[in-house]
Amino acid sequence: MFELCASILAADFANLARDVQIADSAGADAFHIDIMDGHFVPAISFGIDMVRTMSRLTSKPLDVHLMVESPLLFLPGLAGLGVTRVSVHYEIPGGPNDALQAICSAGMQAGLVLNPETPVKAALPYLKDISQLLLMTVQPGRGGQIYLPGSDEKIATACSMLQAQRSNAVIQVDGGITSSTLPGAYSAGARSIVAGSAVFHGKIKENISKLRNNSVYTLCH
C-alpha cells in the first residue's frame, strides 16, 4: 500500500485544527508542509511557526518540503520541532549536498526533490543520503494544478534506477493527485502520495476514503 501525506496547503486555515484532526482520524498517514520563500518559487507560504502549530495538532509524522533557496537556514528550527522528513530541491543554488548532509546530521530523514523538467538521473549522486525521492508532478509553487502528462513514465524510470542502485529510497509524488491519477502513480512505483485538494476540498473523511478505496479497487482490477 501507500503512505498518504495530507498537504495542509489546501486546508481551511480558518479551521486548521478541525481539518487536521478530521484528516488524522480518517487515516492520513502523515502531514505534508510546504515552506516557500518567494524566491525559489514566486509564492510565499508557511514558515517555522506553522510547523510548530502542526506539531501540536497531530502526532503523525511531519513531512516538510522546502521550496527555498537557502534550506540550511530552516533546518535547526525544524529539527527542534521533531520533524520526521525534510526534502530539498536538486535545483537550489549550489546544489543540495550540504543541505542533505545537514538534514541527516540533525537526525531527520532527507529527501531530494526533482522538478518536472529535471531528469531522474540527477538524483544518482545523492542516493546514499536520502530516504525519499520526491518527484514533482506539477510545477512547484501553487496547489490545484493538473497532473502532468508523462509523470507515470518518469516515476517508472526512477523506480528502475533505485532498484538498479539497490537504494531503499521511497518515491514520493506531489501534485495533481486524485483518485483517478493515484493508481497510475502507484503502479509506476510511487509509495508516498501527497494530496492536498483531493483531501481537504469538500468532505475530508469521504475524500480520504475515496483515495484509499477507489485507488485500491482500480489497482486490483
Residue range of the domain that includes 119: 3-220
129 catalytic, yes or no?
no
Identified catalytic residue from 37, 63, 152, 174: 174
* Strand, helix or coil for residue 152: helix
Identified catalytic residue from 24, 34, 63, 152: 34
Residue 140 in this model has a pLDDT that exceeds 90? no
Residue 141 in this model has a pLDDT that exceeds 80? no
Q: Which residues contact 79 (CB under 8 A, 6 or more apart)?
A: 106, 107, 108
Q: How many domains does the chain have?
A: 1
Residue 220 in this model has a pLDDT that exceeds 50? no
Name the pTM for this structure: 0.94
Mean pLDDT of the chain: 94
Span 191-204, mean pLDDT? 97
At residue 119, the pLDDT reads 98
CATH number of the domain within which 124 lies: 3.20.20.70
12 catalytic, yes or no?
no
Residue 142 in this model has a pLDDT that exceeds 80? no
User: How far is 177 from 198, CA to CA, in rounded Å?
Assistant: 7
Residue with cell 525521492: 133
At residue 216, the pLDDT reads 54
User: How far is 217 from 221, CA to CA, in rounded Å?
Assistant: 6
